[in-house]
Amino acid sequence: MLNGCPWRKFHKGCRNNCKKLTDDSQKQRVYCWEETLNHDIEESVKVLTIEECKKLVSKICNRYQIKPPEVVKGKWKRRANGGKDFITLPNRYRDRIAVVHETSHALEQNHAVKYDTYETREDHGPIFMRYVLENLSKELRIPIKKLMKTVEIFELKVARKKDCKL
Ligand SMILES: [Zn+2]
């Protein structure tokens, strides 16, 4: 996160180690799953300009009527990063899958604030996954059922649609 822990203002007593509250148990499997998508769907690896990335972030946020996070280039960052206030997208993370992934962090964090679930949330948990699938399905024009099948192989938990209303 660019400005330290995004939960600081919501979680009294946070000493910037909020992440230790819950383990992010699906994280590695989410990365592995996304890599398999990269090979399957040509559209997914198309490199976008930073302006196209910003448009895509806004488009996704508009679906849920949340304020889009600010998109920054993150030139010197090694990784992409996403949250409800900022999304960092270094050069090699400017494709649809990466943008959907990072924007879904913003959606999930807004969700946690709205439903007051920040103590039990996981960065790459079931709620996050629901938002990723919903938006990947729309942006890559793949039926969500088909995407669900790819997720099953990695035993990723996905929250129910009715539990993910922003
Ligand atoms: Zn992530």
pLDDT score of 19:
46
CA of 145 to the centre of ligand 1 (A): 22
Each residue of 105-146: pLDDT tens digit? 999 999 999 999 878 889 999 999 999 999 999 999 999 999
pTM for this prediction: 0.85
CA of 152 to the centre of ligand 1 (A): 19
pLDDT score of 120:
85
What is the residue-wise DSSP string for 75-138?
A: TT-SS-EE-SSEEE--GGG-SHHHHHHHHHHHHHHHHHHHHT-TTT--TTSHHHHHHHHHHHHH
Each residue of 25-80: pLDDT tens digit? 899 899 989 988 876 677 777 899 999 999 999 999 999 999 999 999 987 778 89
CA of 151 to the centre of ligand 1 (A): 16
CA of 45 to the centre of ligand 1 (A): 17
CA of 117 to the centre of ligand 1 (A): 18
CA of 102 to the centre of ligand 1 (A): 6
CA of 87 to the centre of ligand 1 (A): 11
Answer whether 140's CB lies under 8 Å from 99's CB.
no
d(CA 147, CA 138): 11
Specify the amino acid at residue 114. K
